[in-house]
Chains A and B, each alone.
Chain A
Amino acid sequence: MKNKFIIAISALFLFGFGCKSDSDYLNIKPTQVLSTELAFSDPAQVISILADLYNRQYDYPRLTEWVTFGDFNESFYSENGQYNNYHGNSTWSFRGYRGPDVSGKATYFWTPWDYTYIRELNLFMERCATATSLDATTKASYIAEARFLRASYYFTLAQYYGGVPIILNSLEFNGTDVTSLQYPRAKESEMYDFVIKEAEELKLLLPANSNTKARATKGAALAMESRAALYAASIAKYGATTPSVSLSGGEVGIPAGMANAYYTTALKAAEEIISGSAGAYSLYKKQPGNLSENFAAIFYDKTQNNEVIWVDDYALKFKRHGFTQLNQPRFGAEEEEGGRINPSLNLVQSFEKLDNTFAPLATNDGSGNYIYYTNQQDIFADRDARLAGTVMIPGSSFKSRPVDIWAGVQLADGTVISGGERGAQKILPGKTVPEQVVGFDGPISGIDFTAQTGFYIRKYQDPAIGSGQRGIGSAVWRVRYRYAEILLNAAEAAFELGQTSTAAGYMNQVRARAGLIVPLTAGDISFDRIVHERRVEFAFEGQYFFDLKRFRIAHQIFDGVTLSKTDLLSNLSKATKRSTQPYGLLPYKYYAPGSPNNGKWIYKVDLSNKVTASDNWQLGNYYSEIEADILTRNPKLVKQPNQ
């Protein structure tokens, strides 16, 4: 029968082929996983691994998460989901939690603890070193880059946690003894020593090329060294003011005696970049005719930008972000949203006048009457050019379109006519036709995406067409190190070492670029000046957060006490000035037909009714919490102080 024949043939096949060498049969190499050997066989392949490692650096703020930008009352968050998290909540958790994100998930912003990343960096170096098909030069350059990333990541960890275990090779579990994988925390000073030592070695291995921005260079290594040494020095010096923020084992806190050595290192590293030995870095001055636009362009101009040293780079279609889409002026925006970050008056008024003095924005004259301004921008005249480069002030433009920020119409008797929607229309007294009484960008209290403080953010906004669209996005890079910081690092280190005239020299370079051409003298440089200069130069760049921590002034600035209007408008130059609530400055149009002031602008200091809490920085906030889960897995880790 035919069937029998087929069965017999099949059986034969089964015996003949099916059972051929069982062990080989199951041993098939997966086609979708590259073996280590294959992965390290080709330089292009290795670069793609390295690119992933670059992408996993931890940044704060992050362009992909807009709420990381303007905390600490440097701005008001004009989004319905955020009022309660940021303005109705006075505390930060020890891991930087301010409230759930839009989807209700807990978001921790100060928790870089990622030893998987460190392990993969270590593995990368080890595998690269033993790879057979790469030549020695290529290997060395890749390993140097990975070492830079590792040092940079340990620096990040030190900024958040103080001392953490320093693991410099990949660890393997021997199958029995888990304690062989448990390492104690290093001292905080050892963290910075490690970063400085690595940077000193890496500067000789990495290329001195100021045109490379997204990859490690000599400039980036030196910039990291200068910042790390400066942080260590200030923790040593100012940590003495908060003795309870330390651990007896030195995991948190650096002895005050070490400050001077660190300041010297910081100054030396900064001056090495300033001397030009790391490449041709200089302040960005391409648009001398418009200093504000010039300042904003540092962040979006990617061609021949000699100020920028190291960035987290973006490219349209591949790696992009929606920062512009989320923060662009709401009126006429490319998408039906924007305007989330509203810089606060606290920040805006701290920009100096061109004669180097501090003054609140003049809303009223000596006898309490409003001051009338012909143009909206007049109240901001004669101020630091960085103001308009950081913040969109009323009357300014973005993408050649003016922003429309005004809160209402004020009548001669003091009544305010306003509306509850963007660009609302009302009939003014003596008229018959309704006309616009509120700007199309607000501000309207409680309506999100309007400029509720009277300002929008300018820094990091992308002027390219389409940058505000969800489908296109923005490729503006996130600047990690730039030349102005090197100058200010040098200024701070020199000041702390008693070289005040050197300090003034460096600081004046940065200030002159912002239009503050009256130089400061050696005697003008003070702790308050240093802190202030960094606050305005690096607003919304994340430096403020770390400065607050390393100068140990956060608990004085956010002391949980309600910020009164008088407090807000006084002592502008003081580093420890209270800033527990974000204020706004709202423009109103004056309507009094026949009066010479008709149609002019007045300004009012305002606190949104969404701001109900006064921020309170706890001593435990100076160092991020090491989660209980991590502590239980490794009993050798000691807990952070005050937590």
Chain B
Amino acid sequence: MKIKFHYILFFALYAIVLSCKKDNYDAPKAALTGRIVYKGEPLNFEYNKVSYELYQSGFGKTGAIGSTFSPEGGFSHLLFDGLYKMVVPIGQGPFVWKQNTAGKPDSVAITLKGNTSMDIEVMPYYMIRTPQLTYSGGSVTGTFKLEQIVKDVNAKTVERVTLYISKTRFADSQTNIATTNLAGTAIADLNNVSLSVTVPALVPAQNYVFASIGVKFSGVDDMIFAPVKKLTF
């Protein structure tokens, strides 16, 4: 049988014209970014520890978009324009998140229209003030002040402070090569807390380490951190 070329062409054209009718959503384009701050000062956490949830209602089931804050206390999502609510579940984070009378976490309403950046104010239990991380003679020393922020019924005591050193920017309880701890009860002066740790042999060798300070509060899982600092020998 003779195949007529223009038939094939015709069918191909037909398929292209009809099937590619606009039947898809655009990918989400609006970027929602922000940080968790106290009086404008960003808080630092451990990666993959402090979780939060974003809700958008009106589309059937109300499931959360769950994620965790970055170590620098930031969050970022690509979303569709609309109304969102952000919630930090009770017990998450080294800070007080407001609750409603039913004991449920209060939500932050977010109106997303195009790229939106917003910082969220919270009350951390304590702030790490003037952290100094220095390297000398094979060991890393961290000095800092602790300022109590939450003093009402929600106040927490310091369980321990820990100095972490790591080969990578992740210097925390999950990734570290050496740590040193100081129990909260052993801290005599909150305005002068000092810790030091010996740097172990680095394999493969490198001439720098990263260090950070974490503070753990009794009855709270997540620690608050000082910004990670790179220390070159």
Contact = CB atoms under 8 A, between A and B. Distances in A.
Interface of A: 89-91, 242-244, 247-248, 560-562, 613-614, 616, 618-620, 628-629, 631-633, 635, 639, 641-643
Interface stretch (B6-14, B111-119, B136-144, B173-181): B173-181
B91 A643 contact: yes
A635 B55 CA distance: 14
Interface in B13-64: 51, 61-64
B173 A642 contact: no
22 contacts: A90-B174, A244-B90, A244-B219, A244-B220, A247-B103, A248-B102, A248-B103, A561-B160, A561-B162, A562-B179, A613-B174, A618-B221, A619-B220, A628-B64, A632-B63, A633-B61, A639-B89, A641-B90, A642-B89, A642-B91, A643-B89, A643-B92
A639 B102 CA distance: 13
B124 to A, nearest CB: 17
Q: Which 9 A-B pairs have the closest CB atoms?
A: A642-B91, A632-B61, A618-B221, A248-B103, A632-B63, A560-B173, A619-B221, A90-B174, A628-B63
A620 B160 contact: no
Contacts of B173: 90, 560, 614, 616
Interface in B57-80: 61-64, 66
B8 to A, nearest CB: 42
A244 B93 CA distance: 13
Given A561-B181, A616-B173, A642-B221, A244 B91 contact: yes
B232 to A, nearest CB: 24
Q: Which of A562, A629, A635 has the most CB atoms of chain B within a 10 A radius of its CB? A: A562
Contacts of B162: 561
B179 A632 contact: no
Main SS of chain B's interface residues?
Answer: loop
Contact of B91 (A620, A629, A631): A620
Contact of A243 (B66, B102, B160, B219): B219
A342 B66 CA distance: 37
Contacts of A643: 51, 89, 91-92
A619 B219 contact: yes
Nearest to A617: B221
A550 B118 CA distance: 41
A91 B91 contact: no
Contacts of A631: 63
A560 B174 CA distance: 8
Q: Which of B162, B179, B221 has the most CB atoms of chain A within a 10 A radius of its CB? A: B221
A628 B66 contact: yes
Contact of A619 (B61, B91, B179): B91
Contacts of A619: 91, 219-221
Given A243-B219, A628-B66, A642 B90 contact: yes
Contacts of B63: 628-629, 631-632
Contact of A642 (B64, B92, B181): B92
Contacts of B174: 89-91, 613, 616
Contacts of B89: 639, 642-643
Given A628-B66, A639-B89, 19 more contacts: A90-B173, A91-B174, A243-B219, A560-B173, A561-B160, A561-B179, A561-B181, A613-B174, A616-B173, A618-B221, A619-B219, A628-B63, A632-B62, A633-B61, A635-B62, A641-B90, A642-B89, A643-B89, A643-B91
Q: Which of B62, B66, B103, B160 has the most CB atoms of chain A within a 10 A radius of its CB? A: B103
Contacts of B102: 248
A248 B105 CA distance: 13
A620 B61 contact: no
A632 B61 CA distance: 6
B101 to A, nearest CB: 10
Nearest to A641: B91
Given A642-B90, A643-B89, A242 B221 contact: no
A619 B218 CA distance: 11
Contacts of B62: 632, 635
B204 to A, nearest CB: 15
Nearest to A638: B104
Nearest to B48: A91
A243 B102 CA distance: 17
Contacts of B181: 561
A635 B64 CA distance: 12
A643 B89 CA distance: 6
Interface string B91-107: 11000000000110000
Nearest to B159: A559
B57 to A, nearest CB: 12
Contacts of A248: 102-103
Nearest to B90: A641
A89 B62 CA distance: 32
A632 to B, nearest CB: 4
Interface string B138-174: 0000000000000000000000101000000000011
A639 B91 CA distance: 12
A10 B102 CA distance: 77
Nearest to A619: B221
Interface in B169-202: 173-174, 179, 181
B189 to A, nearest CB: 23
